[in-house]
Chains A and B, each alone.
Chain A
Amino acid sequence: MTTTTPQFSAPPTRQTSISAWAKKNLFGDWFNTLLTIVSVLVLGWVLTTLLSWAFTSARWDVIPSNFKLLMVGRYPVNLLWRIWLSLAVIMGLGGFSWGVLSRDTRLLDRRGLIMLGILSATLVLVLALLTDPVSIAISLGLIILLVGMAFVGQQIGRVQPQLGTWLPLLWLFGFIVSYALVRGLIFGAPVRLDDFSGLLLTLFAAVVSIVLSFPLGVLLALGRRSELPIIRWLSVIYIEVIRGLPLITILFASQLLVPLALPGYIRTGRVVRALVGLTLFSAAYLAENVRGGLQAVPRGQTEAAKALGMNPVLTTSLIVLPQALKAVIPTIVGQFISLFKDTSLLTIVGFAELLGMGQTVLANPEYLGRNGEVLLFIGLIYFLCCSAMSWASRRLEKQLGTARPTVLPPDVAGEAA
């Protein structure tokens, strides 16, 4: 190990000119040049074909005239205000948490503005599809509510900084309230869970199975590392059996075998059966993700906790789990995103969730053969939801400060040692 002063050269100045950047990155050598040309040609061809189809031959009227159907399915029209109200609860909560979480920074920094821009752009798209002025007014109101609540949340968050800790409970409460609203448990005229359809069912299935599979997955992961052999083996068997089965098999079993296997007097809703299937499936994968995190926590942490006299429960809940979960946020969110997309498999077992509703719309003789338009629209919705989730996870990672710490140059590390 040399002890001379480390030779750090000044960081290279960034080439800001576009042509220089392009020369370096796109036309570096003959292979890069070739690759660039081919990619541009292919991209250009795909884009022009798609765009010319979208603006000339596609007949988009199928979307606005079935918009309500795709969103909330056959939810009674005269009860739609309940959906709006629960949306308002969620938007308000979203704004509030946004405000509380960014209490120490400016609310509308560059990133916040970009997000708001994307949200507004989506809204403009939705507005273009809606012809009903009331819905447009309500949507605008919701955005204003979001921003308004964000400012309120920021102010409150500055006064009560510990409020951030209670946000998950607040969300739980908000979820229960909006669920009760949609189901009609608060204001009369209940709507059966089995009558949920469209995006409403997709979101409901995704949210419930995500929220339920998380604790189950954590418990399974802990069980798999348990020192009690029975618990360990049960967890291992559960995880390996479920991971060995395709999700569609589990869904079919939940829809076909369960009602036959249960005695006649026990009746379960089919949505509940599907949710159980999704949750059990996802929990097994989640358990393995969490186990990865648990293994990444150094032994020293547990030993230090023991040395401080903490009992195993406290050690796990205060020392090991927080670090383990932090480490695997990206994979957990990845699992959630794929669970969200997996809800589209419900179509195969006869649910009219977003994709199933799309197929129902396509069966309308008026709209036969509009597969491209409808499927593209559905794809867009899935994309928006998934990218929102991954954006949120990146924010969460940053918030918890788990983004990879800047690695010291080896020389410096060596010198320090």
Chain B
Amino acid sequence: MSDIWQGPLEKLNDYCWRIPKSYKPGMRVAGIIYADERLLKDIRQDKAPEQVANVAFLPGIVNASLAMPDIHWGYGFCIGGVAATDPEEGGVISPAGVGYDINCGVRLIKTNFQYEEIKGRIKDLIYVLFSDVPSGVGSKGEIRVSEREEREILVKGAKWAVEKGYGTEEDLECTEEYGAMPGADPLAVSQRAYERGKAQSGTLGSGNHFLEIQVIDQIYDSKLCDEFGLTLGQITIMIHSGSRGLGYQICDDYTRNMIHCLSKYNINVPDRQLSCAPVNSSEGKAYFSAMKCAANYAWANRQCLMYLTRRAFEKVFGISWEKMGMKLIYDVAHNIAKLEKHIINGKEKTLCVHRKGATRAFGPGHPALPPRYKKTGQPVIIPGDMGRNSYLLVGTQKAMEETFGSTCHGAGRIKSRTAATKSIDADALLRELESKGIIVKASGKATIVEEAPQAYKDVNEVVDVVHKAGISKRVCRMRPLGVIKG
């Protein structure tokens, strides 16, 4: 492990710590990290807190540079970071505040099955899913599109998939932004990005992306579970994927471009990877339009992945997905920038909110929520590692007040991929998981080892913090039964 971070962390309360603005000259606001004392020890192990301080340099940043308890060392921004900038005050947009995998996100699907009914079929399901859902590095899909159609995907997002018959209107209602951000401009996307994205619709990808069959093993709020139609022992499915090569290329294209904006707009940041441009500049607007294209592509991708999953279930059980009750609970983005209205010092402001490894968590009554979730607050989906748990939470009013309506996004890495590869044996790990009743299929053993549970923080501890801090609320917990890894 690298050196322990020695900077100042002032305790605000049991779940909130501040890096004062005075820590480094150039910080425009303080840094705030959500964590308890236990997690803080892990957080000090790498350079993530330094990155929280670096993000505080961004022009126009409002309130504070925020970090969630799953924070870990990224490049430029930390993973688990939230930063909002005010375009009217010269606020910037930064590709690093979104990441290469634009609109990497998760969706949660429920079923009518109880674990006891299908526990003998999990293996069949995983094998069919593994063969029918393309996964792995550079995987290519069977859902092939022409370049004209690809442009349509970039504008319409998940709606494109629904029009093709890969889903329903209800799926769109249960997707953040209804599956497409308005204002996506395909002309802002380079030819190379098109080529890189062409063959990859309906593919899972690799690394930490996965498809998981789960069972609800703990209910925290039975009233909310009733609202969502969820009960103890019920089978759910979780899909984690993003915009694939198209997103990487867009991030690369605009990071290249924005390196030159630092001198053009006289922006002082301590890490070149934090390259950025004013939201209202031509460069900022072009990036935002292109980012929306990748975000929409990712929503179409996850919609296609859900379609393939429903089809695989139909193949195994011989009944329609509708009869199996395979309804989408919600789909959230956790690498994205949005223009959102927030109340700052009693005044409504339109801010550019970056969520890099953080999830939107809008509270009850928010206008962006579909009617069905107006009362509950926005469903928030938190995937854990393949050996532990995942969670369904809801957004809260407190998140609106403290974190620009944001919360954590997952467990957060604790061990580097190289350290994991050195210390973990793939076959032993697979046996251990199988003894816990978890079947894993992956296209390579390298991924299994890199993504081993030991490489992650305990998601239970992470969720405990966001729940107790009040920035989201626990609904129920799932545990994995079968996992497909890219």
The answer to whether A and B come from one shared complex is no
Report A's interface with B, CB cutoff 8 A. Answer: none
